Structure 1
């Protein structure tokens, strides 16, 4: 990623709350991830298609959280000591009902309960957490894609 591209992604995150980093994974890596997720879902079916703690469930997942361009953006916002707190997968077959609109960040963001030290005010001066989504198959209205509200 060039410096100019990096700065454009930073600006998009600051203004819109998200950015898109195309091409981080090859088609082969996307296929490997899909195969691993399908295998895991067969071994341990879960409601809603959610698969948790993928850290050591396949080499492709190890690569995903070590991508240099992605790490550069994460560390820009969260610092060099940013910690990965989860690695999850989601399988949404065609026809899956859409999930309700919600905000992530119940423990770090604007949904966090006020602490006594907050003195009744919500003060957030910087990004406290980031979510990253890898679209390893087509994201469409008909197959349960994530809805995004910019801002």
Structure 2
């Protein structure tokens, strides 16, 4: 079987993903507000306010996330900030809508820093030239372990 081609994409903050996250956040706030009102005590109010604050923070953090560079070199996945040091890891598809995908990047265990997983919403509209190569790379099985892969992000 042929290996997937190398591909490099810039992962930008996604309006589609932020809109979906905003919808889920509003639903969580609504449900917790109804629950808090039904309880009509201090615990209900505290929980509703806490859910509201967390939902607002999640949407804000998703919108303000810096651009990242995702790269498949034919052997490994690499993720890093634009102009920064990439780290190796694995990519899995969490959701595929045809014109948009939600990918989960899990850093290699020895390179994990703050987060074990990074969620990456990607859209065909940003990557018309790279979309097919990206889809081929995420759907292709990883190469055999004895291919001589290196930890060098430069190739």
Indicate the structure (1 or 2) with the bigger Cα radius of gyration.
2
Same fold (TM over 0.5): no
Query: Which bin holds the TM-score, normalised by the shorter protein?
Result: under 0.3
